[in-house]
Chains A and B, each alone.
Chain A
Amino acid sequence: MSSQKVAEKPKAKNLIAGATGDWEVVIGMEVHAQVASKSKLFSGASTGFGADPNSHVSLVDAAMPGMLPVINRECVAQAIRTGLGLKAQINLRSVFDRKNYFYPDLPQGYQISQFKQPIVGEGEIEIEVDGETLKIGVERLHLEQDAGKSLHDQHPDYSYVDLNRSGVALMEIVSRPDLRSSKQAQAYITKLRTILRYLGTSDGDMEKGNLRADVNVSVRKPGDELGTRCEIKNVNSIRFIGQAIEYEARRQIHIIEDGGKIDQETRLFDSGKGETRSMRSKEEAHDYRYFPDPDLLPLELTQGFVDDLKSGLPELPDEKRARFMKSFGLSGYDADVLVAERSSADYFETVAEGRDGKLAANWVINELFGRLNKEGKSIEDSPVSAAQLGGIVDLIGSNAISGKIAKDLFEIVWTEGGDPAEIVEKRGMKQVTDTGAIEKAVDAIIAANPDKVAQAKAKPSMLGWFVGQVMKSTGGKANPAAVNEILKGKLGI
């Protein structure tokens, strides 16, 4: 597994220049992903987003006296699916522990989590940065409860608590300190999110707080031992993760270069100022008094249960990328773009099915994605369906329309809808492949421009001018290859 890699020489592009030389930044991430499930980890209350405060709260979530947690089987299945997707070891026996601390949004006075024996052990995530493929170690994945939410802006004298999130299942996915740049860290969380979405185990929606990262950052001189790390809590966008790491690494470098030392502490990222600031020191850190939750028996799984989940897993992005490259002859770059979202990959596959894969990829990536981005639409609300785009690609493939006409056709389908073949037929957009008709047009142009004909004989690149004229006279519908062929013959070049 990648975690036991021998020390590699740091790549120069990943180093940060300081006054005393180059520095290497070492990053590990703890990502909290909300499990996609209808009900909470230990209660039947809904996990629905956006409900009125305290409307999704069971007696268990509110920690009423005598209430007991009951594990949600689907959340366990989701954690296992995720583990399998991370090529990780699934622990058939895991234990839930209590993490004890007081806060008003934590009704039980403890969070049920997994401390010593998590459900998922070592795994890895492959990332691609600057054309380089890196394997980032995943140390573990465990299940735990989310806390409620404190509302400090509802009343001048009081804080309120919304327990809708209280008890919602989270997966905490802990990476090895294998990341060496903010770019890698961003690639890591992007890839992790892609995998979660493919698996359907978390929607990975960072805006809703369904995916958040604690980022551990330390710096060292290349080859040195690991430096003292600071943990930046709850960073909630990929852009902020990059900013926070860049800021934090430089902050630490300045302190060390000024003769100071790094205090191990928990920090917060202020996205307004683009900086991190101290939240609590190591001395102020809680003693969580972890111990096995006596209300819950150890979670015992059978290999059969895990195998069943494994056989139901969808194709994952790395496999899909490899297949797209192999079956459709796509470049690595195009395949990456297409597999980033499962919905994009599915769209592409529908378009490419039984057609020219490269042509399909070209149209999906350049025309469709370009247009979607421009209009701020997602693939799910694309006005052009995969079947329609497939129709357009068919017309190109059969030489019924030229590439240029295809773009016009795409525009029509985008704005007006309809079947591409019918549109082409009705509006007379069909490419002219009838050599007789093209010859007629060529003859007319040659007859009208004897001077140009003479010039072309001396300078064959003048052919382009004739092609343009023919296309113009045929309304763009003439097959360019045929026009070229016939012109060459007639002009004798």
Chain B
Amino acid sequence: MTDLTKLTMSEARAGLQKKSFTALELTDAFLTAIDKGNGALNAYVLPTPEHARAQAKESDKRIAAGNARSLEGLPIGNKDLFCTNGIRTTACSKILDDFKPTYESTVGLNLWDAGAVMLGKLNNDEFAMGSSNETSAFGNVVNPWRRKGSDGKTSTDKLVPGGSSGGSSSAVAANLCLAATATDTGGSIRQPAALTGTVGIKPTYGRCSRWGIVAFASSLDQAGPIAKTVRDSAMMLKAMASHDAKDTTSVDAPVPDYEAALGKGVKGLRVGIPKEYRVDGMSSEIQKLWDDGIAWLKSAGATIHEISLPHTKYALPAYYIVAPAECSSNLARYDGMRYGLRVNGDNLIDTYEKTRAAGFGKEVRRRILIGTYVLSAGYYDAYYLKAQKVRTLIKKDFDDAWNSVDVVLTPTTPSPAFAFGEKSGDPLAMYLEDIFTVTVNMAGLPGMSIPGGLSSQGTPLGLQLIGKPFDEETLFRTAQVIEDAAGRFAVPDAWWMKG
């Protein structure tokens, strides 16, 4: 039998339909792969083999009975930010200790109701704060991609998988699941997808329910999938998205059949190229990637238009005010009183301080402090209020752009995957990883990263598509054209598999 873990999600779906293999066989193939490969990658913080097999058996019954659902028997990984009923959920923070929710996230429920099988909980940056998956309480996640000529013998050869959804991107790229859930507050789906040669889409704010997902910055957080192909990501998002009365920011709008949009091509589509994204010092390989993307869309019949998004340069600083402000308040509930870690002190204040000092990592503490500062009396107007005004201007930039274009094309990241420690000592360098992605969250728009080529080091690079609100369909059909032209990028050598 061929290696089932190398199948795409849609191929696996076809195989199950044809009964070429069972859901249990498929699940076991992934569980074996996790067993062998997770030690080197650390993508999963909690594999759930028994849970997975039970779900797979149920799927096999449904397939046999002829009432398979849309993702029946397809094994996926679940980012540890999603609360799972009875299964430890930590947001990869010590502060949640061995917290076991008594509830399932709405996105999770949607996936299990569609028949998907959960292989386990995936690593991420602590509370989704990071761009390299170096802030997780469970340690770094390793990118299965290595630089050309690297033999992986020294630790500096290891590359980051991006963040915060580094477990998701690494696991998908390394065939440790068919696809994975992820979340994106400033680029946490698209940047890891770009760094691992996978496809990631952050849908429009409000498309997926945030209920049951550990919050980082409520006005920016949005769930989406990381998958191997554009089609797979369309399958996943269709299942994940829903209106949810429990999240009043979720939108009551029908969820289209995204797969149906895939073959429609881009003839006549107006593609915007924002001049402000040609940042100083952009590397020639990123420039080439972008030019390739433009050429592919042009030859498929799209028209290319230079556009201006004048407030782009303010997006990153404004984001690093809004997101920490919301996080400082959202993370106040982790106080050691009701669940998770508690370190007892001499009195109440001492207990708070000891608990939160021990429970939160350095980056989370940094953002809580920044957020507390910008909301403080006397600083609110200068920081938070001004950042919100910038946000309105960024939204307006896009609103204006939609008068002349249907979709925007940019690179996803300024550079390919980097080594551990390369940026983690310098928060600003790390924050710059999000320079092309944060605007999308600030404007609440859908954004997608599709592999577009390899860097000079032989590691993946991603192209980003930005769409109109709730127009994910245009992103999918455009992404399909790019994928068809660029081809898929699989890791050449499964070095992480032991034995």
Q: Interface on A for B, CB 8 Å cutoff? A: 59, 62-71, 98, 100, 102, 104, 107-110, 161, 287, 289-291, 294-297
Say which residue of A63, A65, A71, A102 sits within 8 Å of B89 (CB atoms): A65
Is B494 part of the binding interface, using a Cβ–Cβ cutoff of 8 Å? no
B246 contacts A by Cβ under 8 Å: yes
A68→B335 contact, CB < 8 A: no
Q: Which of B6-14, B67-75, B207-215, B412-420 is found at the contact surface with chain A?
A: B207-215
Asked if A100 and B332 make an inter-chain contact with CB atoms under 8 angstroms apart, the answer reads yes
B105 at the interface (CB under 8 A from A): yes
- Whether the pair B249, A297 counts as a contact (CB closer than 8 A) is yes
Considering the chains assembled together, what is the distance between the CA atoms of A483 and B460 in angstroms? 116
Residues of B near A63 (CB, < 8 A) are 333, 338
Give Cα A463–Cα B210 distance, bound, in whole angstroms: 91
Per DSSP, are chain B's interface residues mostly helix, strand or loop, or mixed? loop
A161→B337 contact, CB < 8 A: yes
- The answer to whether B338 and A100 have CB atoms under 8 Å apart is no
Residues of the B chain whose Cβ atoms lie less than 8 Å from the Cβ of A296: 248-249
Contact status of A102 and B335, CB under 8 A, knowing A65-B96, A65-B214, A68-B210: yes
Contact A295 B335 (CB under 8 A): no
B85-123 to A contact mask, C-beta < 8 Å, 1/0: 000010100001001011101000000000000000000
Task: Report how far A102 CA is from B329 CA in the complex, Å.
Answer: 10
Inter-subunit contact A64/B101 (CB<8 Å): yes
> Would you call A62 and B338 a contact (CB within 8 A)?
yes
> How far apart are B200's CB and chain A's nearest CB, in angstroms?
21
Measured CA separation A300–B338 after assembly (Å): 34
Quick check: B333 and A294 within 8 Å, CB to CB?
Answer: no
CB-based contact A65/B326 at 8 Å:
no
Q: Are B83 and A66 in contact (CB under 8 A)?
A: yes
Chain A proximity of B438: nearest CB distance (Å): 16
Docked-complex contact B376 and A64, CB < 8 angstroms = no
Min CB distance, A288 to chain B, in Å?
A: 8
CA distance A59 to B83 in the complex (A): 13
Give bound CA distance, A470 to B380, whole Å: 88
Interface residues in B181-233 (C-beta closer than 8 Å to A): 210-215, 217-219
Q: Contact: A71 with B248, CB < 8 Å?
A: yes
Contact A294 B217 (CB under 8 A): yes
For the complex formed, measure the closest distance between the CB of B104 and the CB atoms of chain A, giving whole angstroms. Answer: 10
Q: Out of A69, A107, A291, which one reaches B380, CB within 8 Å?
A: A291
Residue from A65, A66, A104, A161 whose CB has the most chain B CB atoms within 10 Å: A65
Q: Which B residues lie within 8 Å of A69 (CB)?
A: 248
User: A102–B332 contact, CB under 8 A?
Assistant: yes
Would you call B99 and A65 a contact (CB within 8 A)? yes
Is B372 interfacial (CB 8 A cutoff)? yes
**Chain A residues, CB < 8 A from B335:** 102, 104, 109
Chain B residues within 8 Å of A59, by CB: 102-103
Q: Which B residues are in CB contact (< 8 Å) with A295?
A: 215, 218, 248-249
Interface set, chain B 328-344, CB cutoff 8 A to A: 328-329, 331-333, 335, 337-339
| Proximity string of chain B (222-262) to chain A, C-beta cutoff 8 Å, 1 when within and 0 when not | 00000000000000000000000111110000000000000
Residues of B within 8 A of A287 (CB): 376-377
A70 with B376, Cβ < 8 A, contacts A63-B338, A102-B335, A107-B333 known: no
CB neighbours (8 Å) of B1 from chain A are: none
| Chain A neighbourhood of B331, CB < 8 A | 109
Assess whether B215 is in contact with A66, with CB atoms less than 8 Å apart. Answer: yes
* Chain B residue nearest to A296 in the complex (CB): B248
Question: Which of A59, A287, A295 has the most chain B CB atoms inside 10 A of its CB?
Answer: A295
In the bound complex, what is the Cα–Cα distance between A34 and B128 (angstroms)? 38
Contacts of B41 in A (CB 8 A): none
The answer to whether B101 touches A297, judged by C-beta atoms less than 8 angstroms apart, is no
For residue A448, give the distance in angstroms from its CB to the closest CB of chain B: 90
Specify the chain B residue showing the minimal Cβ separation from A59. Answer: B103
Cα distance A64–B211 in the bound complex, in angstroms:
11
Decide yes or no: A291 and B375 within 8 Å by CB, A67-B211, A70-B245 being known contacts: yes
In angstroms, Cα B333 to Cα A62, docked, is: 9
> Is B277 on the interface with A (CB-CB < 8 A)?
no
Chain A residues with CB under 8 A of B249: 295-297
Q: List 14 contacting pairs A-B, 8 Å CB cutoff, sorted by A.
A: A64-B101, A64-B339, A65-B215, A69-B248, A102-B352, A104-B348, A108-B332, A109-B333, A289-B328, A289-B375, A291-B375, A295-B215, A296-B249, A297-B248
Complex CA gap A100/B325 in Å reads: 11
Q: How far is the CA of A98 from the CA of B214 in the complex (A)?
A: 18
Q: Does B360 contact A (CB under 8 A)?
A: no
Query: Who on chain A is nearest to B244 by CB?
Result: A68
Chain A residues with CB below 8 A from B96, complex form: 65
Is B89 a contact of A110 with CB atoms below 8 Å? Answer: no
B384 interface residue (CB < 8 Å to A): yes
Residues of B within 8 A of A68 (CB): 210-211, 246-248
Q: B residues within 8 A CB of A102?
A: 332, 335, 352
Q: Which 8 A-B pairs have CB atoms at the shortest separation, nearest pair first?
A: A109-B332, A294-B218, A289-B375, A294-B219, A63-B333, A66-B212, A65-B214, A287-B377
User: Which residue in chain A gives the minimum CB-CB distance to B127?
Assistant: A65
Q: For A67, list chain B residues within 8 Å (CB).
A: 211-212
Known contacts A59-B103, A64-B101; 9 further A-B pairs (Cβ under 8 A): A64-B338, A66-B101, A66-B214, A68-B246, A108-B333, A287-B376, A287-B377, A289-B372, A297-B249
Which of A62, A66, A294 makes the CB contact (< 8 A) with B213?
Answer: A66
Question: Separation in Å of the B17 CB from the closest CB of chain A?
Answer: 34
Report yes or no: A100 in contact with B329, Cβ–Cβ below 8 A: yes
A66 to B79, CA, bound (A): 14
A66 touches B105 (CB 8 A): yes
Which residues of B are found within 8 Å of A161, using beta-carbon distances?
A: 337
CA distance A104 to B101 in the complex (A): 20
The closest CB in chain B to the CB of A163 belongs to B338
- Note all chain A residues with C-beta closer than 8 A to B246: 68, 70
Q: Give chain A residues whose Cβ lies under 8 Å from the Cβ of B338.
A: 62-64, 107
Contact with A along B51-86 (1 / 0, CB 8 A): 000000000000000000000000000000001000
CB–CB A66/B210 < 8 A = yes
Q: How long is the Cα–Cα vector from A59 to B101 in the complex, in angstroms? A: 10
| Cα(A295)–Cα(B247), bound, Å | 8
Q: Mark B364-382, 1 if CB is under 8 A from A, else 0.
A: 0000000010011100100
Determine whether the beta carbon of A291 is less than 8 Å from that of B384. Answer: yes
- Cα distance, A310 to B339, chains bound together (Å): 45
Closest to B221 in A: A294
Task: State the CA gap A341–B465 with chains docked (Å).
Answer: 65
A104 and B337 form a contact (CB under 8 A): yes
B83 and A291: CB pair below 8 A? no
With A59-B103, A71-B248, A287-B377 known as contacts, the answer to whether A66 contacts B333 (CB < 8 A) is no
Q: How far is the CB of A165 from chain B (nearest CB, A)?
A: 16
Q: Which A residues are in CB contact (< 8 Å) with B380?
A: 289-291
Q: B206: nearest residue on chain A (CB-CB)? A: A297
| Docked complex Cα distance between A67 and B209 (Å) | 11
Residues A110 and B83 in contact, CB atoms below 8 Å apart: no
For B348, the chain A residues whose CB sits under 8 A away are 104
Chain B residue with the shortest CB-CB distance to A66: B212
| A65 touching B333, Cβ below 8 Å | yes
Contacting residues, chain A, for B375 (C-beta < 8 A): 100, 289-291
Residues of A within 8 A of B377 (CB): 287, 289
CA–CA, A169 to B144, complex, Å? 52
Contact of A107 with B99 in the complex, beta carbons under 8 Å: no
**Measured between alpha carbons, how far is A68 from B211 in the docked complex, in Å?**
6
